[in-house]
């Protein structure tokens, strides 16, 4: 991932962050391959949002060290492109009342998925971990909360992304 254009000091700062993620992944891959030639660590970056001077880039990391399947991780980088400041979930979900509204919206989405036959753990429709450190990224109408494999669905489902429109919690 390499940004161009815009405010050079901001672009340089963000590119440094993205490069550090990629370099760390390459180092970890090299370490895994030393342990066993069949082991690996890979990372993939994607731009999820780039509008209104805001940027969301999501890295998905996968490590395989034997067994039935590898382990997945994700890291969201959300920035204000004018200032280079990282955007935390607390910028959007400011208090407990808003967090409760986000949780309700997520539960409604998980329930709709479950009722539509999507593999969602029934016991986690209303019982999931969500706090200000949860992974999220922006989309044109709000935020997307990302759940890891096994958090709300089986591993085979992968990451589960739930859109929560600003209108659901900024009322």
The pLDDT tens digits for 94-105 are: 999 999 999 999
How many CB atoms lie under 10 A from the CB of residue 100? 12
DSSP H or E stretch at residue 72: strand 71-80
pTM over 0.85: yes
Assess whether pLDDT exceeds 90 at residue 24.
yes
Asked whether 51 and 140 are in contact (CB, 8 A), the reply is: yes
Residue 49 pLDDT greater than 80, yes or no: yes
Residue 171, pLDDT above cutoff 80: no
9 Ramachandran zone, left/alpha/beta (phi>0; psi -120 to 50): alpha
Instruction: State residue 134 phi and psi, 5-degree precision.
Output: -65, 145
Q: State the distance between the two ends of the chain, measured CA to CA, in whole angstroms.
A: 36
Q: Where are the beta strands (DSSP E) in the chain?
A: 40-51, 54-64, 71-80, 136-139, 142-147, 160-165
Strand (E) or helix (H) holding 112: helix 96-115
In this structure, are residues 75 and 86 in contact, taking their beta carbons and an 8 Å threshold? no
| Summary count for the chain: helices (H), strands (E) | 3, 6
CA-angle at 16, arms to 80 and 132, nearest 5° = 45
Is pLDDT above 90 for 68? Answer: no
pLDDT of residue 3: 87
Confidence (pLDDT) at 66: 86
Q: Compute the mean pLDDT over every residue in the chain, rounded to the nearest whole number.
A: 94
């Amino acid at each position: 991932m390499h940004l161009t254009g815009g405010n050079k000091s901001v672009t340089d700062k963000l590119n440094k962050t993205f490069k550090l993620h990629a370099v760390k992944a390459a180092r970890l891959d090299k370490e895994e391959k030393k342990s066993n030639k069949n082991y690996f660590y890979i990372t993939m970056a994607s731009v999820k949002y780039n509008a209104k001077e805001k940027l969301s880039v999501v890295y998905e990391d996968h490590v395989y060290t034997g067994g039935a399947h590898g382990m997945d991780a994700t890291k969201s980088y959300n920035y204000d492109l004018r200032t280079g400041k990282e955007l935390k979930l607390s910028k959007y979900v400011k208090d407990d009342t808003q967090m409760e509204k986000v949780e309700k919206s997520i539960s409604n989405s998980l329930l709709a998925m479950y009722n539509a036959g999507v593999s969602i753990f029934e016991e986690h429709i209303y019982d999931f971990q969500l706090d200000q450190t949860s992974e999220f990224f922006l989309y044109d109408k709000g935020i997307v909360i990302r759940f890891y494999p096994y958090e709300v669905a089986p591993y085979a489902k992968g990451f589960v992304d739930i859109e929560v429109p600003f209108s659901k919690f900024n009322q």
